[in-house]
Amino acid sequence: MSPPTNSDMPETLTIRNAIDVTGNKQQRVNLTTGNGLISRLEIVSDSTADSPGDTSVADDTLTIDGSGLYLCPGFIDSYARLRDPGFEKKGTIASEVRAAACNGITTVLCSPDTDPVIDESATVELINRKARDSGGARVLPIAALTRSLEGELLSELATLKAAGCIAASNADHALVDLQVIRRCMEYARTFDIVLIFHPADRWLTANGVAHEGATAARIGLPMIPVAAETVALAMLIELAWQTGARVHFSRITSRRGVDMIRQARAGGLRITADTSINHLVYDDTMLSSFDSQFRSVAPFRDSDDRRALREGIVDGTIDSICTDHAPHERDAKLAPFPSAEPGISGFDTLLGLLLKLVSEADIPMTTLIKALTANPARVFDLKQGHLQEGAPADLILFDTEASHTVETMKFLSAGQNSPLNGQELKGRIVHTIINGCLA
């Protein structure tokens, strides 16, 4: 699973004078890595800030001047589609893990809806080998919760966990048989496996493609009511009570959904949740011009729902932010809105949208960084995601001021499907370090 240590790379690496954005107070730090870990982390006092000429470093140490750059652990993306195996015309593991790494994402939880689906350890091994050979972000496959994602038979979850799966999920395929869901939860609990559910009732979703609200009412798009999410949530929360399973809700979209999760947690239930970066930025008014780039499996709801998601990030009800990365070939979006394939290519614009949330939604940068590092690490028991001595040296250095015009043609992801083409975004990943090596 770990990327190879490039033999050309020095064994230690030093970052000097970067701004640590993980704590409540931003401060300048020097950081040194060794053996893939953070070996030393020290706060730079004002008196030493401008004199980085420390001569004690060894010859094989690469030193990076971090002046003016922000430092934090590499992002952990709790839900992304890599499309490989099976849908290589949309993206390959090679293309997507390189894109992830260059955009600051050092760990990717990849969805099991590949072809074949991730329901056998051979598929896990295939993905792990491809990821290793690609040398980008580390890939943590999510196991298919049921065989072929069909919602009837349990996958070999213990075997899949041993092969390296980090969690299990039925991806975007709704589970409808409550007995099957209950058994999934009980079985997963036996082996302490986190289950990821995207709550969406199949019947209430039906052929809907847009949030049931004023925009869809006006332009006549088939609608998905909020109840599609909350009915499924209520059902899953009750079964989580019943079984004691570790349940992570992925891509929450609505205010009522956030409220239900907040309430269940207040009652002591061990559940966690994420939403996507897209849901924090967009609302349903974006659909007015029928731009198929805004078609998403989890619909963008109204501005009040979006506000609730932002509040959920700030108060911790929503633990993490995923990209919901869904690369597509060009033709997949060349269709009228309801017939276009859903999903947005999210890797290449993650940082830009995070900084947009800092400036436009007034969410503290530290909070957003946590939702992409320490929080998903806690949810999925990862050692990554922390800026402290002894933690894995998965790190990023970024610039928050550099402004650029998004050109989807230049995306590193094979998926150029983004509604942001031509828009101005701020921020640039300057360095990504994975396992102590520059990516």
Partner 1 sequence: MSSDPLQYNAEGKLRHFLSLDTLQRDTLINILDTAENFTSVNDKAIKKAPLLRGKTVANIFFENSTRTRTTFELAAKRLSADVLNVNLVTSSTTKGESLLDTLRNLEAMQCDMFIVRHGDSGAAHFIASHVADHISVINGGDGQHSHPTQGMLDMFTIRRCKGSFDNLVVVIIGDILHSRVARSDIAALRILGTREIRVAAPRTLLPADVESLGVSVFHRVEDALDGADVVIGLRLQNERMQGATIPSSDEFYYTYGLTPERLRIAKPDAIVMHPGPTNRGVEIEAGVADGQQSVILHQVTYGIAVRMAVMAITMSNTTDATNRQTESGDAAATVGNQTGNP
Question: How far apart are the C-alpha atoms of 436 and 3, rounded to whole Å?
Answer: 10
Q: 127 and 118 in contact (C-beta within 8 Å)?
A: yes
Annotated active-site residue 59? The verdict is: no
Length of the chain: 439
The reply on whether position 336 binds partner 1 by CB under 8 A is yes
**The one among 304, 315, 331, 381 contacting partner 1 by CB under 8 A:** 331
The reply on whether position 173 binds partner 1 by CB under 8 A is no
CB of 338 to partner 1, least distance (A): 5
* Inter-CA distances, 322 with 78, 146, 407, 424, Å: 5, 23, 22, 22
Give the DSSP letter of residue 341: P
CB of 298 to partner 1, least distance (A): 18
Q: Toward partner 1, which CB reaches closer, 31 or 332?
A: 332
Peptide bond into 85 cis (omega under 30): yes
Q: Report the relative pairing of strands 437-438 and 424-434 from DSSP bridges.
A: antiparallel
Question: How far apart are the C-alpha atoms of 200 and 205, rounded to whole Å?
Answer: 7
The reply on whether position 216 binds partner 1 by CB under 8 A is yes
Q: Which stretch binds partner 1 (CB under 8 A): 168-176, 210-218, 358-366, 420-428?
A: 210-218
The reply on whether position 402 binds partner 1 by CB under 8 A is no
Which among 201, 274, 283, 324 is annotated as catalytic?
324
Q: CA 137, 140, 145: angle at the middle one, nearest 5?
A: 150
The reply on whether position 292 binds partner 1 by CB under 8 A is yes
The reply on whether position 133 binds partner 1 by CB under 8 A is no
The reply on whether position 178 binds partner 1 by CB under 8 A is no
Q: Which stretch binds partner 1 (CB under 8 A): 208-216, 320-328, 375-383, 422-430?
A: 208-216
Q: Toward partner 1, which CB reaches closer, 176 or 217?
A: 217
The reply on whether position 326 binds partner 1 by CB under 8 A is no
CB of 410 to partner 1, least distance (A): 22
State the number of binding residues for partner 1 (CB under 8 A): 25
Peptide bond into 116 cis (omega under 30): yes
303: left (phi over 0), alpha (psi -120 to 50) or beta: alpha
**The one among 46, 47, 58, 220 contacting partner 1 by CB under 8 A:** 220
**The one among 43, 158, 176, 219 contacting partner 1 by CB under 8 A:** 219
Positive or negative, the CA dihedral 311, 314, 318, 322 is positive
Amino acid, res. 50:
D
Q: Which stretch binds partner 1 (CB under 8 A): 55-63, 206-214, 239-247, 426-434?
A: 206-214
CB of 232 to partner 1, least distance (A): 19
Determine the 3-state secondary structure of 168 from DSSP. Answer: strand
**The one among 225, 257, 327, 352 contacting partner 1 by CB under 8 A:** 225
The reply on whether position 176 binds partner 1 by CB under 8 A is no
The reply on whether position 335 binds partner 1 by CB under 8 A is yes
End-to-end CA distance of the chain: 15
Question: For the packed helices 255-266 and 226-243, what is the interaxial angle rounded to 10 degrees?
Answer: 20
Give catalytic residue positions. Answer: 324
Footprint of partner 1 (CB under 8 A): 212-214, 216-223, 225, 289-290, 292, 331-340
